[in-house]
Amino acid sequence: MDMKLNLSEAKIARARELAVAIVNPVMEFVEAHTSLTVERAALRLAGADGADADGVPVPNLVVDQLKGKLENGALLYYINALVKTGETVEGLNAKIAGGLRVDEIPLGDRGAIEKKTAERIQAFAERVKRNRAHREAKLVQYAGKNHSPMLYLIVATGNIFEDVKQAQAAAEQGADVVAVIRTTAQSLLDYVPYGATTEGFGGTYATQENFRIMRQALDEAVDKQGRYIYLTNYASGLCMPEIAAMGALERLDMMLNDSMYGILFRDINMYRTFVDQKFSRMINAFAGVIINTGEDNYLTTSDAVEKAYTVLASQFLNERFAYAAGMPARLMGLGHAFEMDPTIKNGFLMELAQAQMAREIFPEAPLKYMPPTKFMTGDIFKGVVQNALFNFVSQATNQGIHLLGMLTEAIHTPFMQDRSLALENAKYVMNNMADLSSEIQFKPGGIIMNRAHQVLDEAVAFLERIEQIGLMDAMEKGEFADIKRPRDMGKGLDGLVKKGDEYYNPFESFLKSELGLER
* Cβ atoms of 169 and 422 closer than 8 Å: no
The residue among 152, 216, 148, 203 whose CA lies nearest residue 359 is 148
CA distance 60 to 66: 10
CA distance 353 to 141: 36
DSSP-based three-state secondary structure for 47: coil
Q: Give the Cβ contact number of residue 25 at 10 Å.
A: 13
Catalytic residue among 296, 307, 503, 504: 296
Residue 2 annotated as catalytic: no
Q: Give the Cβ contact number of residue 345 at 10 Å.
A: 7
DSSP-based three-state secondary structure for 213: helix
Residue 191 annotated as catalytic: no
Helix (H) or strand (E) holding 247: helix 240-249
Classify residue 304 as exposed, middle or buried by CB count within 10 Å of its CB (0-12, 13-18, 19+).
buried
DSSP-based three-state secondary structure for 57: strand
Amino acid at 453: H
C-alpha 364: how far from chain center:
17
* Cβ atoms of 220 and 167 closer than 8 Å: no
Residue 129 annotated as catalytic: no
Catalytic residue among 4, 278, 307, 368: 368
DSSP-based three-state secondary structure for 378: coil
Strand partners, 232: 179, 254
Inter-helix orientation angle 270-287/308-324, to 10°: 60
Active site residues: 261, 296, 368
